[in-house]
Amino acid sequence: MRGRVTVLLLLLGGFVVGGLLLTLLQRSRAAQALVYSVNNVRELSQFALLGGTDPAKGPQAGRLNFPDDPRFVPTPRERFAERNVAAAVPAGTVFRPELPPERRLSWVAPLLPTFNQKRQDTLAVYGRLDLTQAWDAGPNRAAAETPLRILVSYAAPPPANPGEPAVTQYVGVGGLGVDAPTLPLGPDNVADPRAGCFRYDGPTPFAAVADGLSQTVLIGEVSTDLGPWLQGGPTTVRTFDTSPGARPPVGVGGQFGGNHLAGGLFGMADHGVRVLTQRTDARFLANLCTVNGGVAAPLPGD
Q: Is the pLDDT of residue 95 over 90?
A: yes
- Return the pLDDT at 204: 93
Asked whether the beta carbons of 108 and 229 are under 8 A apart, the reply is: yes
Domain regions of the chain by residue span: 2-288
Q: How far apart are CA 32 and CA 107, in angstroms?
A: 28
Q: How far apart are CA 99 and CA 18, in angstroms?
A: 58
- Return the pLDDT at 262: 84
CA distances to 24, 48, 55 from 267, in Å: 28, 10, 19
* Sign of the dihedral defined by the CA atoms of residues 184, 189, 191, 197, in that order: positive
Q: H or E segment at 4?
A: helix 2-44
Q: Is the pLDDT of residue 24 over 50?
A: no
Exposed, middle or buried, 63 (CB in 10 Å: 0-12/13-18/19+)? middle
- Return the pLDDT at 152: 94
> Which tens digit of pLDDT belongs to each residue from 195-231?
999 999 999 999 899 998 989 999 999 999 999 999 9
- Return the pLDDT at 3: 63
Q: How far apart are CA 258 and CA 252, in angstroms?
A: 4
> Which tens digit of pLDDT belongs to each residue from 173-204?
999 999 999 999 989 889 999 999 999 999 99
Asked whether the beta carbons of 218 and 45 are under 8 A apart, the reply is: yes
Asked whether the beta carbons of 93 and 101 are under 8 A apart, the reply is: yes
Q: How far apart are CA 24 and CA 162, in angstroms?
A: 35
> Which tens digit of pLDDT belongs to each residue from 47-86?
877 765 544 444 444 444 555 665 566 677 666 766 666 6
Q: How far apart are CA 50 and CA 108, in angstroms?
A: 17
Q: Identity (one letter) of the amino acid at 157? A: P
Q: Which of 203, 204, 183 is nearest to 193 (CA)?
A: 183
How does strand 237-240 pair with strand 170-176?
parallel
Q: What confidence category does residue 159 fall into, taking pLDDT thresholds of 50, 70 and 90?
A: confident
Q: Which of 259, 287, 253, 299 is nearest to 275 (CA)?
A: 259
Q: Is 105 helix (H, G, I), strand (E, B) or coil?
A: strand
Q: How far apart are CA 227 and CA 231, in angstroms?
A: 8
